[in-house]
Amino acid sequence: MSDDRNKIVMRAVQEIHDGMYVNLGIGMPTLLASYIPQDLTVMLHSENGLLGIGPYPWEGEEDPDLINAGKETVTAISGASCFDSADSFAMIRGGHIHLAILGGMEVAGNGDLANWMIPGKMVKGMGGAMDLVSGAQRIVVIMEHVNKYGESKVKTACTLPLTGKGVVNRLITDLAVFDFIAGDMVLVELQSGATLEEVRAKTEAAFLISPHLHNGHITEGTQG
């Protein structure tokens, strides 16, 4: 992984706690499966019908019958189970998934999420994203703070088709961690090496700063 992605993944894995049922979205979120501490009992869920995903397999040990929603080969932990998509989505829609960690293309200051398509580009479908943002108990989005053109992906309003309105509970980027509280986006942490000035410069959306902002020394409580 790049340094930026490593920061995101290492911070995101801290969101996973003992006893959780967790769905990892396709792309960067699937990397978390290999970094969950071994002393935690966690059941990773994939909407294509697997509960109990383990780390990525070593080369030569892949099982083509074990894949995640992103069509990547995975492993299964002891006690894992396979089932059809109807049962898998019943778990999601029934509110049985404690946490969904999803990738994002854009997140707006009010917690809107766009992560399933870019107009004009071929997509296979929306997958389970819309069900997850409405059915999982908590939604954490992980993504780079800016796109390849240097434009902020943390928007005043999403310009891409929405996955869900006001659904994001926490956003983790390579620069910062934001919580969404009562319609406001609140900066709660700075990533290692990031500064408040850099976050302000690269964030299109307005945000508040937590009085308990955690990066070792900043404790401001003003608006960003």
3-state secondary structure of 192: coil
Number of H helices and E strands in the chain, helices first, is 4, 13
Residue 6 phi/psi, 5° resolution? -60, -45
Burial zone of 221 (CB within 10 Å; 0-12 exposed, 13-18 middle, 19+ buried) = exposed
Task: Determine contact, residues 207/180, Cβ cutoff 8 Å.
Answer: no
C-alpha–C-alpha distance, residues 173 and 194, integer Å: 11
Place of tokens 């928007």: 155
Helix, strand, coil shares of the chain, percent, nearest 5, are 20, 30, 50
Supply 221's token pair.
Answer: 């409580």
Can you say whether residue 184 is alpha, beta or left, with left for phi > 0 and alpha for psi between -120 and 50 degrees?
beta
Task: Name the residues annotated as catalytic.
Answer: 47
